[in-house]
Structure 1
């Protein structure tokens, strides 16, 4: 009898252990499933958080209650499957960094302009973003903006009018030309425009006095405008893989092969190209001018 009781007790103990394990497993699965759709409301208890980093969770939606986290400084939800940004994001007035790259966002809400402390915004690789609300030009502290690998056909007016912007990446979009108003971006020092469809550069680019890095590789440029020689602060440019009309050769370099390769479509190439372009234009003018003189001379002889 005693043995049967002991055996039953042991079985019950094992059963209780397994029931606890199964319960915990089910709870973990429930939490995991909840995270795959949205942030659980239980997180509201953590409203003193200053930084959130949540990657590769399959997160589909940012909940509207995100605006309750008034102390957030950094919000990084990159590499998820988020399809929209809720208007409540605008309540995060202390937010300095918002990283939403590698998601499925199509529209950026105008309420984001209320994030007055925002300094860094990354929306790269969302694929379908094609415009930004003009209200975003009110982000007076924004210095870093990454819009690469989306569907922009022009630089949005909101971006052109961002007063503090210093670093902009719009590579791998559908840009065909740059607006004449690009000169408004007076604080910009780095501009990435690689892998677009740009055919020409506006003359106003010469007025971007602080621009030091300009990447234009893999576009459809046929010429380098002469005015770019006036850009005294330009330190690095890249015109590689553009169908430029002129073929120019650089003088031999004493540096390493790696340095020569890096320089090939850089600043030295730009200056050499412009000089060759001016020389050919002058030569063509002389030829045309000589032909005009010949015509006038023949007309004089006939008279």
Structure 2
């Protein structure tokens, strides 16, 4: 009886040992299988990576080849113009072209201007119009020889203060970015700036930096949110052309009469109700455009007030678009003879071509 029990116990032990070995074997086989799967996936990943590297190298090669085809050389001037590509970012292959004098990448969906733009120390013109740029790298300020920076039709929300270090800048176009509201004061260092275009943005006032740009000759702030001009607008003593149409300006400051170089003033489609009569004294003024305003008839307590000016000027405007300065002079002299010469006159739909 006891021998039967021993035999049965040994059989059970054998079963347990067999079961244990089977489980261990299954566990190891599972681990080995998983390891093989991992190894296979790793090999596939490396293969894909190698293919991607080859593809990237090929694209880089293609980029370099394509870019070099677009480079033009005229004596000592090296220029690259690209338009209508789907770059989104400047290719890395571009950073070695340090001899570029002119770089134009237009309508190419650029979202980022890389920091290596600082490599282009010979750059004089940078035109990135009609892209999707939202900001500029601070390295832009390292381009000491840059003369033209054209960034119209982008999505810029702010301008880095380092741009004020571009001491050679003569033309700056920030038009049609739609969201710009201010310029950093550091841009007042741009003493060589001649042309500034800030049109189609959200400026509610003329930036202080602009009033400090002593070399400025051409200023466009049309289609913004201007309600008034600063009383010290005459700081811009060299400005010849000032475009302020499609804003909400109600009055023009008398300081305009001290802008002796002013030749063209456009304030059409604003909210003007009064205009300084002293504007006619500006020695070089040739074009004064005040069309599409709501200039009120002059209100005065004197009984000798002149007839409604809008009627008089509408007739002239209808019969003769090019009104000479003689008309302006005689018109204001007439007001003075009546002793009703106001500080402001009131004109409706007036466009002057002054001879």
TM-score band, normalised by shorter chain: 0.7 to 0.9
Q: Is the 8 A contact 1:236 1:267 kept in 2?
A: no
Q: Which residue of 1 aligns with 2:322?
A: 263
- 1:262-281 mapped onto 2 (5 Å cutoff): 262-263=321-322, 274=332
Q: Which has the higher strand share?
A: 2
Q: Is the 8 A contact 2:213 2:236 kept in 1?
A: yes
Q: Which residue of 1 aligns with 2:261?
A: 210
Q: Is the 8 A contact 2:150 2:173 kept in 1?
A: yes
Q: 1:157 aligns with which of 208, 211, 220?
A: 208
Q: Is the 8 A contact 2:225 2:247 kept in 1?
A: yes
Q: CA RMSD in A?
A: 3.0
Q: Which structure has the larger Rg over C-alpha atoms? A: 2
Distance change in 2, residues 1:177/1:267 (3 Å): farther
Other structure's SS at 2:210 match: helix
Displacement of 1:277 in angstroms is: 6.0
Matched, 1:193 2:244: yes
Q: Which residue of 1 aligns with 2:231?
A: 180
Unaligned runs of 5+ in 2: 1-54, 67-84, 298-309, 343-355
Q: Which residue of 2 aligns with 1:301?
A: none
Q: Is the 8 A contact 1:212 1:234 kept in 2?
A: yes
Q: Deviation digits for residues 154-198 of structure 1, max 9, x if unmatched?
A: 110100110100001101001000001101111100000010100
Displacement of 1:103 in angstroms is: 0.2
Displacement of 1:263 in angstroms is: 3.0
Q: Deviation digits for residues 6-39 of structure 1, max 9, x if unmatched?
A: xxxxxxxxxxxxxxxxx79x839x969x953311
Question: In structure 1, what is the Cα distance between the partners aligned to 2:223 and 2:325?
Answer: 22
Question: In structure 2, what is the Cα distance between the partners aligned to 1:111 and 1:248?
Answer: 52
Distance change in 2, residues 1:124/1:105 (3 Å): same
Displacement of 1:152 in angstroms is: 0.5
Distance change in 2, residues 1:200/1:99 (3 Å): same
TM-score by length of 2: 0.65
Question: In structure 1, what is the Cα distance between the partners aligned to 2:179 and 2:123?
Answer: 27
Q: Deviation digits for residues 52-104 of structure 1, max 9, x if unmatched?
A: 11111100011111111101000000000111011000000000000000000
Question: In structure 2, what is the Cα distance between the partners aligned to 1:154 and 1:207?
Answer: 20
Q: Is the 8 A contact 2:88 2:108 kept in 1?
A: no
Q: Which residue of 1 aligns with 2:312?
A: 249
Q: Is the 8 A contact 2:228 2:252 kept in 1?
A: yes
Question: In structure 2, what is the Cα distance between the partners aligned to 1:122 and 1:131?
Answer: 14
TM-score by length of 1: 0.76
Q: Is the 8 A contact 1:199 1:222 kept in 2?
A: yes
Distance change in 2, residues 1:154/1:267 (3 Å): farther
Question: In structure 2, what is the Cα distance between the partners aligned to 1:149 and 1:270?
Answer: 32
Unaligned runs of 5+ in 1: 1-22, 285-303
Question: In structure 2, what is the Cα distance between the partners aligned to 1:48 and 1:210?
Answer: 39
Q: Which residue of 2 aligns with 1:126?
A: 177
Q: Which residue of 2 aligns with 1:38?
A: 89
Q: Which residue of 1 aligns with 2:340?
A: 282
Q: Is the 8 A contact 1:250 1:272 kept in 2?
A: no
Q: Which residue of 2 aligns with 1:27?
A: 59
Question: In structure 1, what is the Cα distance between the partners aligned to 2:210 and 2:294?
Answer: 28
